[in-house]
Structure 1
Amino acid sequence: MPEDIILSTSGLTKEFAGFTAVSGVDLKVKRGSIHALIGPNGAGKTTCFNLLTKFLPPTRGTIVYNGRDITGEKPAEIARLGLVRSFQISAVFPQLSVLTNVRIALQRKRGDSFDFWRSERSLKNLDAEARRLVEAVGLSPFLELTAGELSYGRKRALEIATTLALEPEMLLLDEPMAGMGREDIERIEALIRKVSAERTILMVEHNLSVVASLCDRITVLARGQVLAEGDYATVSKDPRVVEAYIGSGGGHGHH
């Protein structure tokens, strides 16, 4: 039985002037899995994400999503195919309420983004669905708060809700736990686990304890190349991985 691969790359390479950020990366993400991309600073994780979501064109290599070569596609097209990156498409409007933010995202999915200045009735129809999404990410008590008033972790939960409004089949999360305290981390981790029930998730994450408990498969990048791949137990014991992390001062902080 062949593995069901939803997203794969072959020889994915990105060169900037005199510098190779991503070098010959072959990635295979199994449908329905939670897959993490980890590695020390400067390993190329974010560049890799930018290539997958078409925010950067690759220098070489191919990207296949759901059996379709998307190497030449535009970012908006990728999202329409169901490959959606959170915290980017879903810019949250800080001055609008939690409910309104989710409702706007639902409208964006329908492509009638300008209608919401016009028709009160079409907004009411979206309310029930918006409330359902707000509840799904645990924000029902905060419906009427503006996004700007939410704590950091709850803002992230709202961003995930606005991303889910686009009905992604595969979700790319770029450091969803960055800058969070333990309580928020636990909440977002539980949310990602819940969200992953009928979706595939690929995430860049610095917090290794989160990766250990959450992810089925882990790809370790170092200097733009795949260093190791497997489950947490396997990669965490790999001497090259240990060396890459320790040799780079632990790989915390930002790129």
Structure 2
Amino acid sequence: MADYVIETRNMSRAFKGFLAVNDVDLKVRRGTIHALIGPNGAGKTTCFNLITKFLQPTAGSVLLEGRDITRTPPARVARLGMVRSFQISAIFPHLSVAQNLRVALQRKLGTSFHFWRSARSLAVLDDEVAALLDRVGLSAFAAIPAGELAYGRKRVLEIATTLALDPKVLLLDEPMAGMGAEDISRTAALIRKVAADRTVLMVEHNLSVVADLSDRITVLQRGRILAEGTYDQISTDPAVIEAYMGSGHG
């Protein structure tokens, strides 16, 4: 098995002549939490979109477990085991929390879009739904419409729905955005827990979270890799201090 679960080689993306991502070589080692950080406009989310195939690179390639997925559609990439979250929480607000997870779990049954199936046919998922709710700390909210959850718990529910797909690799785009201290602590603990048996790549602005969770950090600036290493290494790098930590975008 490849040492690197995700690898990009000379990955670039231009928009009308502007290079949003420029010649990025990223390597994410199996079983680690790898953070992608940088000032606003550094190209972090564009990198995410390129890796998960929501965008195609202008040049370069993307590999998943050594397999070239540069031209692979995003749905196929998800079936290969790489699943992502988004900056804006994506849930079904009028369905209950448990029903949101059941929809995600239906993929295993091959009935994701068979809405005419009886509720009884989905009862086999009840134990999995309950276990997943317990794992992410949402058991007490199972029957509540997802739209009524507090913001932090909506973000946790979104992470739970990605876990329902049983990914090998989980990409989290600013999972702590807009959260208060209590929700940040709860979500960080959840990420640490789910990373025990999978690889996590995350974009995150909260440097305290990055320092606490990350095994390795890649710093982007103007679409290029500026530095890479542990938090101790990058936090004392003069170029990083000037470009990122002194930028007011931490």
The alignment partner of 2:70 has SS state of coil
Rounded to whole Å, the distance in 1 between the matches of 2:84 and 2:101 is 16
Q: 1:35 to 1:246 in 2, by over 3 A?
A: closer
1:11 aligns to what SS in structure 2? strand
Normalising by structure 2, what TM-score?
0.96
Paired residues of 1:116 and 1:122 also in contact (CA < 8 A): no
Instruction: Spell out, residue by residue over 1:185-226, the C-alpha distance to the aligned partner (whole angstroms, 9 max, x if none).
Output: 000000000010100000000000000010000000000000
Give the deviation of 1:251 after TM superposition.
Answer: 1.8
Counterparts in 2 of 1:185 and 1:71: CA distance versus 1, 3 Å: same
Q: Which runs of 5+ in 2 are unaligned?
A: none
CA distance in 2, matches of 1:24, 1:205: 21
1:83-120 deviations in whole A, cap 9, x for unaligned?
Answer: 10024898310011111010011013433113343222
Hey, what's the Cα distance between the residues in 2 that align with 1:40 and 1:112? Answer: 42
1:191 — aligned with what?
A: 190
1:171 equivalent to 2:174? Answer no
Find out whether 1:213 has 2:218 as its counterpart: no
What is the distance in 1 between the residues matched to 2:116 and 2:41? 44
Task: Look up the equivalent residue of 2:231 and give its one-letter code.
Answer: Y
Superimposed CA distance per residue, residues 111-152 of structure 1 (whole angstroms, 9 cap, x where no aligned partner): 311334322222111111111111110001111111011111
TM-superposed CA distance for 1:246, in Å, is 4.8
Kindly provide the amino acid, as one letter, of the partner of residue 249 in structure 2: G
- Shifted more, 145-154 versus 2-11: the winner is 2-11
Show structure 1 runs of 5+ residues with no match: none
Q: Secondary structure at the match of 1:178?
A: coil
Q: Deviations over 1:54-86 (max 9, x none)?
A: 011000001110110001100001000001002
Q: CA RMSD for the aligned pairs? A: 1.7
In the TM superposition, 1:1-80 aligns within 5 A as 4-80=3-79
Answering whether residue 145 of structure 2 is matched by residue 146 of structure 1, we say: yes
1: CA distance between counterparts of 2:161 and 2:147? 15
Q: Which moved more, 1:171-180 or 1:155-164?
A: 155-164
Q: Which moved more, 1:4-13 or 1:82-91?
A: 82-91
> Residue in 1 aligned with 2:179?
180
Large movers: runs of 4+ above 4 Å: none
SS at match of 1:251: coil
Aligned to 1:235: 234
2:87, 2:93 → 1: CA distance? 14
Instruction: In structure 1, give the amino acid aligned to 2:90.
Output: A
Mean alpha-carbon deviation: is it higher for 119-128 or for 5-14?
119-128
TM-score by length of 1: 0.94
Number of corresponding residues: 250
Matched-pair contact (CA < 8 Å) for 2:87–2:175: no
Cα deviation, residue 250, structure 1: 1.8
